[in-house]
């Protein structure tokens, strides 16, 4: 997705520890026009899988997931990192480790929101080690539902998450794949493959 690659190149910033900071358009300040295009792209990629729900993890995945759900005409389910007081009743749970925040969280989804008839499309902003996606896969498995695909806005292709998910048979579509952040320079997988 050319518009996304251009936005990352222009406004992305590499910070300590191999972290790509994209808070000017993806996860702190959000570019709604770009999110609309991202939603359209994911919907085009996965419409044939007939998803009945889109699942994401709060909070950075919400913008692209919401636009994807809107384009597909299906509900968005947000896995919560903390169980709110209003979430009464039984929940699905999974442990998720955040590479960026260097902490583990238990994620929860109300059992009333997913069931064995659902065909779930997982959408997230980043894929690094794959732990967030695997946590959401575990929630879907507990519900007896099917994962029909995983859409990622930015994949750090130099980390193991993409390989891990693909090796387990999941169809993973990443709109931008980062080959390297070495020396503070953002190198796209497409550039490395083509040049």
Annotated binding-site positions: 20, 27, 128-132, 156
Annotated binding-site positions for xanthine: 20, 27, 156
Annotated binding-site positions for 5-phospho-alpha-D-ribose 1-diphosphate: 128-132
Domain ranges of the chain: 2-194
**Are β-strands 53-57 and 103-110 bridged in parallel, bridged antiparallel, or unpaired?**
unpaired
pLDDT in tens, 141-155: 999 999 999 999 999
CA dihedral 132, 163, 66, 142 (to 10 degrees): -50
What is the mean pLDDT of the segment spanning 67-89? 87
In this predicted structure, the answer to whether residue 14 has a pLDDT above a threshold of 60 is yes
pLDDT of residue 86: 64
What is the mean pLDDT of the segment spanning 98-102? 70
pTM (two decimals): 0.93
Class (C level, CATH) for 2-194: alpha beta
Burial class of residue 109 (count of CB atoms within 10 Å of its CB; 0-12, 13-18, 19+): buried
Eight-state DSSP code of residue 49: G
């Amino acid at each position: 997705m050319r518009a996304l690659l251009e936005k990352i190149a222009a406004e992305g910033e590499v910070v300590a520890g191999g972290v790509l900071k994209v808070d000017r358009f993806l996860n702190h300040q959000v570019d709604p026009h770009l999110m609309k295009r991202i939603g359209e792209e994911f919907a085009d990629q996965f419409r044939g899988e007939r998803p009945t729900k889109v699942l994401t993890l709060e909070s950075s995945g919400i913008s692209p997931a919401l636009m994807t759900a809107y384009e597909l005409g299906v509900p968005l389910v947000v896995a919560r990192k903390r169980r709110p007081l209003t979430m009464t009743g039984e929940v699905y749970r999974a442990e998720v480790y955040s590479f960026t925040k260097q902490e583990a969280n238990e994620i929860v989804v109300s059992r009333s929101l997913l069931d064995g008839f659902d065909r779930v499309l997982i959408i997230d902003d980043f894929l690094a080690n794959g732990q967030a996606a695997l946590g959401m896969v575990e929630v879907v498995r507990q519900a007896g539902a099917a994962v029909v695909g995983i859409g990622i806005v930015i994949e750090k292709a130099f980390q193991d998450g993409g390989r891990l998910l693909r090796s387990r048979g999941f169809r993973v579509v990443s709109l931008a794949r980062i080959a390297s952040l070495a020396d503070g320079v953002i190198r796209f997988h497409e550039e490395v493959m083509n040049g």
